[in-house]
Amino acid sequence: MIHFAIVGCGHIANKHIEAIAMTEGAKLAALCDTNIARLSELKERNNVPVFSNMTDMLEQELPIDVVCICTPSGLHTGLAVEAANAGKHLVIEKPMALTLDDVDAITQAVRRNGVKATVVHPNRYRPAIRYLQDALSRDAFGKLSHVNVAVRWNRGQAYYDQASWRGTHAMDGGVLMNQAIHSLDLLIWLFGPVAEIKSFVDTRIRDIEAEDTAVAVLRFSNGILGIVEATTTIYEQNLEETISVFGENGYAVIGGRTANWIKQWKSASITEEEINRVIQEVDLDPFGVSGHQRIIENLVHAIQEGIEPDITLEDGREAVKLVVDIVSKGKAELYC
């Protein structure tokens, strides 16, 4: 049995609690948060020890094997390094950290202490994305010309005003780091590293430090061109999250308010019958087993078998690096 503690008990912690409960060989052992009222609520619901300080939690003789870091992003580094130094494996919510120096500090601590760590990029496990990955592995669209991701969402001013850390550079990051990083992770995972970037970023509407809107054009190392659009300024509600792929022998568009549905799919090498079957399967179960559960299951397996998790710290670093590069180049373009 692999025992998990969760540090940071906001909204995302609920997904971790559920994922641990649904995973064979995993058990929730402790919860930690500075919000005492929230802790009391979760203690009653989950019947586990609770702590307001992670150091105190780690000093107790509790059967904790893994620490899930679910705090605001700016706190990830210190907590992850401390947990790794205590010999605990790690599940780190996205983004892994907000700077490359912090990412590298976590990686060094993990390697130094011989523990395992994974980063939460659950969109890789969506059924439609898995079908897309399989089609790309079979070269179903032929030579690719370009790909596109768009995150057109709403995070109103009230969202940012709920907590002083939201929208800040030090604790949260902007739309790319907080909302669009999952789409950027998919770009790298599916199409490889990025070689060249042209971008603009700006804070157009929301009263925050970080950017609320970003646009970028990419050239991948393999020559594929890419377009990124991300914003939290869409009026009133989330509009869409899409990933589109265009090639000489076909195309695919996966979208909806979240990228869970196959909206368009054509391929010279896949029959209409097979395409329709896949679309129907996705429509029946567009979310599948939760990505968080897949990640918890995979880490349990990695610990038990002594292998690396599927989503590595290097994967987490590549996603953060792409955000950092787009933002830095975008700000340079904006103010040149």
Task: Specify the fold of 2-122+291-309.
Answer: Rossmann fold (3.40.50)
Alpha helices by DSSP H, listed for the chain, are: 11-22, 36-46, 54-59, 76-85, 100-113, 127-137, 157-161, 175-178, 181-191, 272-284, 291-305, 313-335
CA 218, CA 50: separation in Å to the nearest integer?
45
Q: Say if residues 114 and 246 touch (Cβ distance below 8 Å).
A: no
Instruction: List, for the chain, all residue ranges whose pLDDT scores fall below the cut of 50.
Output: none
Under 8 Å CB-to-CB from 257, ≥6 apart: which residues? 238, 239, 240, 241
Domain edges within the chain: 2-122+291-309, 124-289+320-335
Q: What is residue 334's predicted lDDT score, i.e. its pLDDT?
A: 59
> C-alpha angle with apex 99: 260 to 194, nearest 5 degrees?
55
Q: What is residue 44's predicted lDDT score, i.e. its pLDDT?
A: 87
- Dump pLDDT digits (tens) for 153-172: 999 999 999 999 999 999 99
Q: What is residue 332's predicted lDDT score, i.e. its pLDDT?
A: 72
Q: What is residue 142's predicted lDDT score, i.e. its pLDDT?
A: 98
What's domain 124-289+320-335's architecture?
A: 2-Layer Sandwich (3.30)
Q: What is residue 63's predicted lDDT score, i.e. its pLDDT?
A: 95
Q: What is residue 335's predicted lDDT score, i.e. its pLDDT?
A: 58
Q: What is residue 331's predicted lDDT score, i.e. its pLDDT?
A: 78
